[in-house]
Amino acid sequence: MRTISHFVNGQTLEGTSGRFGDVFNPNTGEVQARVQLASDAELDAAVQAAAAAQIGWAATNPQRRARVMFEFKRLIERDMNALAEMLSSEHGKVVADSKGDIQRGLEVIEFACGIPHILKGEYTEGAGPGIDVYSMRQPLGVCAGITPFNFPAMIPMWMFGISIAVGNSFILKPSEKDPTVPVRLAELMMEAGAPAGVLNVVHGDKTAVDAILTHPLIRAVSFVGSSDIAHYVYQTGTAHGKRVQAMGGAKNHGIVLPDADLDQVVKDLSGAAFGSAGERCMALPVVVPVGKKTGDELRERMVAEMQTLKVGISTDLDAHYGPVVSAQHRAKISDYIRIGVEEGAELVVDGRDFALQGFEKGFFIGPSLFDGVKKGMKTYQEEIFGPVLQIVRAETFEEALALPSEHQYGNGVAIFTRNGKAAREFASRVNVGMVGINVPIPVPVAYHTFGGWKRSAFGDTNQHGVEGVKFYTKVKTITARWPEGDHEGDAFVIPTMK
């Protein structure tokens, strides 16, 4: 059976902990590989390699670092099909979704290619008599990222792309559920021209996470995962003097006003709620129709739309989504559906009994739809992270606005309407970090920034865009005055090329 090892200092590092995790093929339910789980010693070896490499990498001028990013982008595009198939085989998402995963990460790499311009500081001439003031952004040193299973290409590239471009070295601790693509990304970064040790991959569980959060040489940690763990990462990392951004869970709402284009809304909801089996922090698992007529019509059309969805293996080009990542996660989703029924919500479509012929042991679950969900229900308050859409009805605009605003999570929200005034007011007042107007999954483009509010994010700086550059750099400000002196002789010489 294939063993997935760590990647440290530009080469494979065999683990010595004696601990392994199983890597499944979600389509068949079979174990296809095992991944080594790091000890403190292996994490320290990666940090030492990163620290040694970072000094020379930081001294490399930004234009040369950008050239490595350009070449890395080219290599990813060259290997897109192979990477997508590799990703799908471990995660379970269909190949089209895997390509989207890679492409959205690649867009941040494209942003990082412009790092020479972004790193330019500020300058004030004559701030005082003969005094000039200027600033510069410098790298932090060794940084680390802890990433989830649902986007094993995109989220790592969101983190290490900017971190490396500004002059840091990086330790990536990907999910142990789908670790092969992150290793391949590190190999391609070396092929692109990054020095050995600039990007390292260490696999692991809580042992590796705690080692990252407490290691004295790691200056910053970026995390994406559940909110409880995000809170733990933030508290532990900051207690050890690190800069931390920790992105947590979500319960994104889609508000549907009576004037919305329901044909488009239903299509958007289908992709946003069930695409990638709902395993996305920016999925849209809650729809809030305003008014009974809107709710009744939306429900009817949604049921008809769900009947057209095809669940299939990840390589099925006609499938809308594939299996979830593990048997445990499938069981968790099924349990939430059971709880929803017990809480009194109406289960309109039940996907728990779905089975795919020939792949009965795969981790498949059909799309499900609830109506009559109330805000006090556990299944509404918590993140299900699966192909389950909940209808929470509202009578007025104000009631609809209050639902996402008062929820514990504040990652993303969408409003569907033809009314510009209503959309503008909603976007201004809603207590959520990212807003879509007739856009169901409002993930910002790479040169803007990604981040939620409330229990969806811990820390003050968002991911990618200029905010990402700020997170991975520190500002130095210089105030300079040059005394008058003798300019004769060698005291003032313009250097020449010799």
Sequence-ordered alpha helix ranges (H) in 32-114: 40-59, 62-78, 80-91, 95-112
Q: Find the catalytic residue in 35, 281, 319, 384.
A: 281
Which region holds residue 197: left if phi is over 0, alpha if psi is between -120 and 50, else beta? left
> Helix and strand tally (H, E) in the chain?
16, 23
CA diameter of the chain:
91
The CA-atom distances, in angstroms, between 455 and each of 142, 384, 409 are 27, 15, 5
Sequence-ordered alpha helix ranges (H) in 166-200: 180-191
Sequence-ordered alpha helix ranges (H) in 138-274: 154-165, 180-191, 206-214, 227-239, 262-274
Return phi, psi of residue 414, to 5°.
-135, 150
113 is catalytic: no
Q: What b/e readout covers 37-76, taking b as 16+ CB neighbours within 10 angstroms? A: bbbeebbebbbebbebbbeebbeeebeebbebbebbbebb
The SS3 call for residue 336 is helix
Contact 27, 323 (CB under 8 A): yes
The CA-atom distances, in angstroms, between 165 and each of 66, 325, 402 are 6, 32, 41
**CA–CA distance, 133 with 140 (Å, rounded to integer):** 22
Q: CA angle, 295 as apex, 289 and 299 as ends, to 5°?
A: 115
The SS3 call for residue 229 is helix
**CA–CA distance, 15 with 11 (Å, rounded to integer):** 13
Question: Which residues have CB under 8 Å from 150's CB, separation 6+?
Answer: 91, 276, 279, 280, 281, 325
Q: Within a 10 A sphere around the Cβ of 292, how many other Cβ atoms? A: 10
Q: Within a 10 A sphere around the Cβ of 445, how many other Cβ atoms? A: 13
Contact 101, 87 (CB under 8 A): yes
Which residues are catalytic, by number? 281
